[in-house]
Structure 1
Amino acid sequence: MKGKTFAILLLVAGLLVALALIPTGKDTKTTGPKMGDKLFADLPVNQVAEVAIADAENRTTLVKGETVWQVEERSGYPADFDQLRDTVVKLSRLKIGRSFSGDPESLVRLSLLPPSDPDASARGTRITLKDASGKTLADLVLGQVRSKEDGGSGGQYLKKADGDTVYLVDASFRFLKTAPTEWLQKEILNIKADAVASVTCYAGGSQEPLYTLIRSEKGKDAELAPVPEGRSADANRIDQVMEALAPLTLDDVQPADGPSAIASQSTRLVYHLFDGREIDIFPTVDGEEKYSLRVAAREPAMAETPPAIESPPEVEKVEEQKEGDAGKAQEAAPRSAKEINDAVAPWIFSVKKWQFDSFVTQPGALLEEVKKEG
């Protein structure tokens, strides 16, 4: 090879190396999360103190109180913590299936516009997580769920509220609830029927009961007193009254005007428990068929003298968990009347009609139909 030709080849090679080193304006390094990565790998789950969920029709704000999570739109009534925990944990575990830059057309098609957008057909559901200082930890819009051929979920499309990248993740929030009533802790009380010694129904301020359901001893069926001559008690209806607190659940809730409002109720049922606690139920219904309850609890020392019960057995003690039986959860001690009262007395509970009907206030409803001869 001639010296001149070799020099030219060296020059060309040098130019090629130089060109390779010149920036092209494109970052060839992989940035951001990749397929298979967790989308919110750095989410500090234990620092979450507020969760806001909103769609085009509803908004729910869940805030961490001193002792329990609360539903802000229901004056701080306790929230369903299990449902909240499952939602936040699911967010922290989301894995990316694919991602792409979302243009206006794809954001509309995948329903990834914010809930406030004018285009109703393209609105998604927004979830915002904040810490106690108000700092945003995560803010995203959930869009269309990707369906499989068998009808199951193939993940869900979502985007961060302040970004344009669309992610298809490996789980979906198809059944995520957005209305405040759907996030309330539903259980008001859960007192099994066999813990109830008697039920006495009173009208207004009268001390004379309309009727009494009483067990002669624990484990026996409750009996109605009085039973009019020529009539018989309806055992199914009696059981319905005795079982009405196991569990008692709500549909909605609102703050009460105060304890004095209970005294104005026209009817009350007093559940006397074998351990001495008493639960008062004040059922009311308005003209629009809205069924409501007030609930109060009293300690034995504060309670009225219950109807006589022959030789009531002692309160059963919870046995200590046996060694080698770690899989069997120890039964929790029942709440004191004060604990119950602190939780339920400040509220008026809306309930379903079938639950309301379990609190029978008319003695005749506890009697069998009179069979006419002929």
Structure 2
Amino acid sequence: MKIVQILILLGILIFLGAAIIIVDNPWGKDERTKKVESASKLFPSFDVDVVTKIEIIADSTTTILTKSGGQWLVESMDNYPADQQGVKDILEKASEFKMLDLISKNPDKQAKFEVDSSGVETKFLDSSNKVLAHVFIGKTTSSFLDSYIRKDGSDEVYKAKGYLKSTFDKGSRTWKTRKIFAFNKGDVTALTIKSEVEEIELQLDSEGKWQMLKPIVSLAKKSEIDQILNSLSTLETDDFVDGEDFESTSAITATLNDGSQRILMTADEDGGKHPAKRDGGKQIFALYKYNRDKLFKSSEDLKEEPPVVEASKENIEEDDGNQIQKSEGNEDKQN
């Protein structure tokens, strides 16, 4: 039996060792990796830290992103805060572009690969408006793992890793940040939920439990409060609404331990979405009904039901004995 166990263990060790060799390849890198590492960069002197302006042209629409005080803004959309991670992604991609896998040098084939005006044209500029990099992002390859790219002024078309069009062109989603709120949910000490039906006040007590003060006095359900805070503290819009017409019908207010407040107002549902605004903000957001409903709970949803106390056998027997004694006492009085 011991010999069989030893052989099984030995077989497992051999298998694991082979797997490590295949995955890590400790004796050297594969040819593809060597080729990628040795390839020259498409923009060798490109420095992401110097870039202060990005122009993206897609479908005849120009989006201008500018850096101000360390933050990226969508200049072409009233300097609304941009998707910071999205900007970081395209800067990193541009710095990593390499002259690898040359596909074509024929200018007549640029339209085929969509590395002309039919693709996504992107310029990276410095503070003096000097162009640091100018590239055309084309369609994806047949494998959908790579994309075609072309440096402005060159006829050479290369393959670049990744599905790049969606990275550089946000389409109808735009480059605006989708964040509505970003705060630490653990800093919230009070919540107020107002609707056309009722007003709910919730307060965190000294023991870390949430108490409902209005419209009824009750302990609040921790699970429901957690869902509200999880959603509100990281809230993102599902869409943007153009225009200024907005009539609030409900509001939720979170008060933080520093006294500051985060207030979200919402309007009646329209086409499956609720228009919403931050207090004092101009931009109108749109929240899908199910996302809005995560925030606006009723007092019945939030009320913690008192625990059901099961009577012990001794208490039942004692109660029965008391009832018998009362009954006998009543009979004596009647006699």
Tell me the TM-score range normalised by the shorter chain. 0.5 to 0.7
Query: Residue 186 of structure 2 aligns with which residue?
Result: 194
SS in 1 for 2:252: strand
Cα deviation for residue 236 of structure 1 reads 4.7
Give the distance between the partners of 2:219 and 2:48, measured in 1 at CA. 59
Query: Residue 137 of structure 1 aligns with which residue?
Result: 132
Give the distance between the partners of 1:222 and 1:367, measured in 2 at CA. 9
Give the distance between the partners of 1:242 and 1:172, measured in 2 at CA. 35
Preserved CA contact (<8 Å) 2:195 2:250: yes
Tell me the amino acid that sits aligned with residue 134 of structure 1.
Answer: N
Matched, 1:49 2:38: no
What do residues 131-184 of structure 1 show as CA deviations (whole Å, max 9, x unaligned)?
33333332221223345xxx573x432223333222334566254141263532
Give the distance between the partners of 2:192 and 2:198, measured in 1 at CA. 6
Cα deviation for residue 37 of structure 1 reads 1.2
Cα deviation for residue 360 of structure 1 reads 1.6
Matched, 1:214 2:203: yes
What does 1:145-160 align with in structure 2 at a 5 Å threshold?
Answer: 145-146=140-141, 153=145, 155-160=146-151
What do residues 343-371 of structure 1 show as CA deviations (whole Å, max 9, x unaligned)?
x7343333333332233275455569xxx
Unaligned 5+ residue runs, structure 1? 1-34, 116-123, 297-343, 369-374
SS in 2 for 1:96: coil
What do residues 93-139 of structure 1 show as CA deviations (whole Å, max 9, x unaligned)?
222124342241x3233222312xxxxxxxx2221222333333322
Query: Residue 181 of structure 1 aligns with which residue?
Result: 173
Query: Residue 354 of structure 1 aligns with which residue?
Result: 290
Preserved CA contact (<8 Å) 2:121 2:137: yes
Q: Could you say if the C-alpha distance between residues 218 and 254 of structure 1 is closer, same or farther in structure 2, counting changes exceeding 3 Å?
A: farther
Tell me the amino acid that sits aligned with residue 352 of structure 1.
Answer: Y
What does 1:1-374 align with in structure 2 at a 5 Å threshold?
Answer: 36-56=39-59, 59-99=62-102, 100-104=104-108, 106-115=109-118, 124-146=119-141, 153=145, 155-169=146-160, 173=164, 175-178=166-169, 179=171, 181-202=173-194, 210-223=199-212, 225-227=214-216, 236-253=223-240, 265-296=248-279, 345-360=281-296, 363=299, 366=302
Higher relative contact order (Cα pairs below 8 Å, separated by 6+ residues): 1
What do residues 203-261 of structure 1 show as CA deviations (whole Å, max 9, x unaligned)?
58xxx972222333352244464349xx997765444334432211123446886xxx9
Query: Residue 315 of structure 1 aligns with which residue?
Result: none
Q: TM-score when scaled to structure 1?
A: 0.58
Query: Residue 12 of structure 2 aligns with which residue?
Result: none
What do residues 178-200 of structure 1 show as CA deviations (whole Å, max 9, x unaligned)?
12635322322233443322222
Preserved CA contact (<8 Å) 1:222 1:238: no
What do residues 58-79 of structure 1 show as CA deviations (whole Å, max 9, x unaligned)?
6532122345211134321111
The number of equivalent residue pairs is: 266
SS in 1 for 2:158: strand
Matched-pair identity in % = 23
Preserved CA contact (<8 Å) 1:41 1:93: no
CA RMSD of aligned residues (A): 3.7
Give the distance between the partners of 1:250 and 1:242, measured in 2 at CA. 16
SS in 1 for 2:167: coil
Q: Could you say if the C-alpha distance between residues 191 and 365 of structure 1 is closer, same or farther in structure 2, counting changes exceeding 3 Å?
A: same
Give the distance between the partners of 1:140 and 1:360, measured in 2 at CA. 46
Q: Could you say if the C-alpha distance between residues 132 and 58 of structure 1 is closer, same or farther in structure 2, counting changes exceeding 3 Å?
A: same
SS in 2 for 1:245: helix
Tell me the amino acid that sits aligned with residue 187 of structure 1.
Answer: K
Q: TM-score when scaled to structure 2?
A: 0.64
Tell me the amino acid that sits aligned with residue 106 of structure 2.
Answer: G
Cα deviation for residue 40 of structure 1 reads 0.5
Which structure: greater helix fraction? 2
Tell me the amino acid that sits aligned with residue 133 of structure 2.
Answer: A
